[in-house]
Chains A and B, each alone.
Chain A
Amino acid sequence: MTAVTTKRPRQALSGRRVREWLIFLAFVLPNVALIAVFIYRPLFQNIYYSTLNWTLGSKFATPVGLGNYRDFFTSGEAGKVLTTTGIFTVATVGLTLALGLGVALALNRRLPGAGFAQATVFAPYILSGYGVGLAWLYIFDPNIGALSAILRDIGLNSPEWINSPPWTLTMVIIVYVWKNLGYAAVVYLAGLQAVPGDLLEAADLDGAGPVRRFFTVTLPLLSPTTFFLMVTTILNSLQAFDLLIAMDKLGRGARTLIFDAYLTGFKEQSQAGYSAMLSTVLFAILVVLTLVQLIVVERRVHYR
């Protein structure tokens, strides 16, 4: 991302040019000012907060340098929180992409009714994560939920979705995939429609069956789509919050990095400095992922 500017010969500063610049500023400044004040300023302030021992609401804060970072990474909390974050991210991304591709393949046949199916499958993606979480909490309830009733009918006991942390995490993963699957399906569908039919026909004439055609032609051609989806769904999963807090209010099973940052900063002991450290770590992860994406895209993947 280096700037390759072709320098034009400098023109004299005429009144007209300056006027044109002022017009540009008038158009752009409201948004840019809001961004500076409410995105960039807090971004850096957050990094500063992360070096403080400070309780939210207190007038006093002690600078502790990298103490919060040291505490996090040496106390074993990092291992726990990052493992939860990792499991949640890998599981949701993997399942969303795999199931999304499956649905996209079915949609791609353009059977009558496919348009309706596509819209229906996409719908959960735009619903409130908090509302979706609550709706599913009722279904998952181990005592009175529909799922436990169905499981009991087939002779199984309902897992302790609420009281056992690993099951809570599993439940949240299932619902998150349910919510995001349609997005992956629609993006994959667009990718599938760009796969040239003659390539598939050629493979067919060479005697490749549908399974082989899928793995040797379709899937490799979809790799830019897969990459794009991987990046966007990883970023989304790392930022998942409202669905998590709706289903696991105290963060006993689904305490990912972002959830941890909220709970430590605004609930529990209101450790604002520590919370700022956690969201700084999250931001660092997001920056690295974005840079990796930019590098990979420049190197080899060309979409559109």
Chain B
Amino acid sequence: MSATAPSRRVRLTPLTVRDYLVLLLAVLVVVLPLGYMILASFKGPGDLATTDLVVFPEVWQPENYSEAAQKVPFGRLFLNSGIVTVVGAGLKVLLAILTAYGLVFCEFPGKKYVFWGVLATMMVPPQVTALPNYVFISSLGGENTYWGLILPGLGTGFGTFLLRQAFLQLPYEVIEAAHLDGAGHWRRLWHCVVPMALPSIATVALVNVVYEWNDYLWPLIIITDPEMMTLPRGLTLLQNSESAASSFGVLMAGTVMVLLPILVVFALLQRHIVNGFTQGGVKG
């Protein structure tokens, strides 16, 4: 019980026990609902439409997944989400790299104001621009198209901000040496700056991947054709087409398809993702 003697080894003091209980509770609070969701996606009507607590399905019914895929073209939605995520996040990262490079390594009068103008966009939530963008994009025929889905979200304040910070911290001598060797801006960018800033670029990429995969409001507004929907958008369709209590199995199957890919990516790269989301404290 002596809290005064600091020790590197873990002793089972009441404090340690208390902290373990807190952590255990926190982990359970996160894991149990997600686990329950996954189990529910395999439940048949009998296990669903009951007031009793059924944790494990009595009869495993993987047909929920094929049924969900019948009601909503999930294969196609996966593809759409994949395209939007890869293209959207990829272009955003590219734009952020170019903008940050210009802001850090090029000369321009009033460069600072350009930076502020880009930075200030982080204050504008997509919901505020949604209505005029919808009017604009649909007038151009962008409803139910990939470009209509991707284009309006491409301008990036967050990525520019983060990469500018990263580029400012790079060893200037290396880039200057390349300059003296006769390397132009383009060469310096791709042969010096990008390789050195790769961890930051990866972080920005991951944050954007997560953001694009989960994005909901814009796809909700601009896409009405099931064939063009992204996964979260398709869930809405599934939710609207299902109303009976027993249909939760199908709905949970759809939800698992939306949540699981991000969970897998997170499990593999959690350190980078946590860093990305806690730097600057903004999403997207």
Contact = CB atoms under 8 A, between A and B. Distances in A.
Given A152-B51, A210-B3, A265-B131, 5 more contacts: A3-B113, A35-B155, A123-B266, A146-B36, A187-B278
Contacts, number: 280
A106 interface: yes
A24 B128 contact: no
B68 to A, nearest CB: 12
Contacts of A138: 36-37, 40, 248, 251-252
A117 B27 contact: yes
Contacts of B266: 119, 123, 126
A125 B277 contact: yes
Nearest to B127: A258
A129 B214 contact: yes
Give the top 7 A-B pairs by smallest Cβ distance, nearest first.
A27-B102, A42-B132, A34-B155, A35-B155, A149-B53, A24-B106, A42-B129
B48 to A, nearest CB: 6
A255 B111 CA distance: 42
Given A106-B19, A186-B274, A186-B278, A124 B30 contact: yes
Given A120-B30, A138-B37, A276-B131, A286 B125 contact: yes
Interface string B27-60: 1011101101100100000001111110100000
Using C-beta atoms within 8 Å of the partner chain, give the interface range for chain A.
Answer: 35 or more
Given A120-B30, A130-B236, A141-B245, A39 B102 contact: no
Given A111-B20, A120-B27, A128 B131 contact: no
A135 B33 contact: yes
27 contacts: A25-B108, A28-B114, A31-B154, A34-B155, A40-B117, A49-B132, A102-B22, A105-B19, A106-B19, A117-B27, A123-B30, A126-B262, A126-B266, A128-B216, A129-B216, A131-B258, A136-B33, A183-B277, A187-B278, A204-B4, A228-B281, A229-B281, A242-B214, A249-B239, A261-B127, A262-B127, A276-B131
Interface of B: 3-4, 10, 15-16, 18-20, 22-23, 26-27, 29-31, 33-34, 36-37, 40, 48-53, 55, 95-96, 98-99, 101-103, 106-109, 111-114, 117-118, 121, 123-125, 127-133, 136, 151-157, 160, 185, 210, 213-214, 216-217, 221, 231-232, 235-236, 239, 245, 248, 251-252, 254-255, 258-259, 262-263, 266-267, 270, 273-274, 277-278, 281-283
Secondary structure class of chain B's binding surface, majority of residues = helix
Contacts of A242: 214, 216-217, 232
Contacts of B133: 38, 42
